[in-house]
Amino acid sequence: MKSLLLAGVMSVAFATASHAQNYWVAGDRNTGKCNILTSQPVTFGLPAYAGSGSEYSTSFTSGPYKSMDDAKLARSTISACPPTPEPADEKKDE
């Protein structure tokens, strides 16, 4: 009985771990920007896919990261990513 209970607990633990949220930083060669994605992107780095307007626009990826903050920090340290402006606070005191 104990082994059956242990197997159930382990199954729940593995199922929970497999649904953990991960983030990736992906460079888009069409826009020149870096995006933070929640699904693992497919990277196409061959020159044959470098045409303008191509659906194969992801030129590099970095990750996975465990949190959005980690992904934002990684994006800020990648030299190919342009700096992103911080959103302005709506509650500014003047």
pLDDT of 56 above 80 = no
SS3 41: coil
In a domain, 16, yes or no: no
In a domain, 33, yes or no: yes
**pLDDT the model gives residue 16:** 47
In a domain, 15, yes or no: no
In a domain, 12, yes or no: no
In a domain, 61, yes or no: yes
In a domain, 11, yes or no: no
Within 10 A of 91 (CB to CB), how many other CB atoms are there?
4
CA distances from 30 to 26, 34, 57, 61, 62 (A): 12, 11, 6, 15, 18
Residue range 69-94, pLDDT digits in tens: 999 999 999 988 888 776 666 555 54
**pLDDT the model gives residue 36:** 93
Cα–Cα distance for residue pair 53/49, rounded to 1 Å = 10
Number of domains in the chain: 1
pLDDT of 27 above 70 = yes
Q: Taking the chain, what is the end-to-end CA distance rounded to the nearest angstrom?
A: 67
Query: Which domain range does residue 47 map to?
Result: 21-77
SS3 23: strand
In a domain, 62, yes or no: yes
Residue range 37-50, pLDDT digits in tens: 999 888 776 655 55
In a domain, 86, yes or no: no
SS3 90: coil
